[in-house]
Every structure is written in structure tokens, then in C-alpha cells.
Structure 1
């Protein structure tokens, strides 16, 4: 282990800056879920799920926003499976791969639709 690298001032500043950003992001995500769902019944479980969301997205706020919006949209579709899902970080994490797949599928479908319109018109 290279102790000098770990204690490097630049590395410490970078870690502190990232930690500060993660705390702000954590609080923003928590607040967004609480606005819809109210107080969590289990803050330990939901807090761990929020940290997992940050980890899965590498902290990209745009990706987090897209995933949360899509999850909320799916809950409002009237589909029994989705409408019964509580808007909680732990539920979002458990459905992460499924929601990501649906986003990609919808995005590919939209691109193909636009391409077909352009081909028909041009």
C-alpha cells in the first residue's frame, strides 16, 4: 500500500468534494421520495437504497432524474403491477434493471419512429 498516495492533499480534497456532492445528492433524492410518499418507515433501508442509486448512476443527476421520473410514470399507467409499487428508493433499486430496459426500449422506439417519419417525408 502506498501511504503517500492515500494521504496526498489533492486526493483528500477530491474525496471531500465528492463526499459533499454525494451528501447533497442524497438529500435531494430523499426529499423527492418523501414529497411523494411521506416519511419512510425504515430510514436505514431506504438510506442504503439511496446510496445504491448514487452508486449505480455514478452520481449522474440526470440519470437519477430519468429513472425516478420513469418509475413515477409507470406507477401512474394503470397497470396493476406498477400501480401497486410504493414510490420508495428500495423499490426503485429492486426494479432498476426492468425500468432501465423500458427506458431504452422506449428510446429506441422513438428513434425508429422519427427515422420512419424522416424517410417518409424526405
Structure 2
């Protein structure tokens, strides 16, 4: 099982984050778009007392190949373009990490997580792959 955490962080100022839209519209869109590629579950988490973390999308995939296929799919553009409908948070820069117990960067940074060269400009502050052992 491979887990992708998409962590939305506060910018320390006034920001917009529509929890209802995120949970009841965006997350179902994610599931519909990526289930055919191996998404097993997708859950919205709202940590309390975790500093600047506003929300985390926990996406569990069948395996690494499934996660990479989903993020590289044509449906990903629609998923990423939907983000502006529920938040104005923007990333300081993010990347996709290989599936390891310890998160480590890979090169080049794929565009689907709002990383360098992203055509989506997705307002996610972190998009990291992590393997559960």
C-alpha cells in the first residue's frame, strides 16, 4: 500500500479554505478520477494543534505504480484545476518523493503536485509519496 499525503498549510495570514467543498466535492472527485488507476481510499483530515497545517488529504494507492499512474493521468488536470474552488493557499514549492519509509526527493519534479514546472500551480504545500510498512 502506498500513501500520498497532500498537506495544506496556512500562509500565516487570512486565507480561504472551504472545508465542506474540500470534503464533499473535491475528495469525491479525486476518488472518481483515480480509482481506476489504483486509488484504494482518500480521506480528508483536519489536524488540531499541528501548527500551520489546515488540512491533509490522505490518498492510499494499491502500490507505487498506481500512485504514479494516477498523478500522471489526464484526469489529474481537472483535479488540480478544482483546487482554486476551495482554497487560495499556494505552495512555497513542493515535489513528489519516492515511496520510501523516509521521504526523499526525486528528479525531475513531476508537474502534478504543484512542483517546479507545474502547469497547474496547485495550491498544495506538500505532495509526498510515502510507503507504509
Shorter-normalised TM range: under 0.3
TM-score after normalising by structure 1: 0.27
Greater length-normalized contact order (CA 8 Å, ≥ 6 residues apart): 2
Larger radius of gyration: 1
TM-score after normalising by structure 2: 0.25
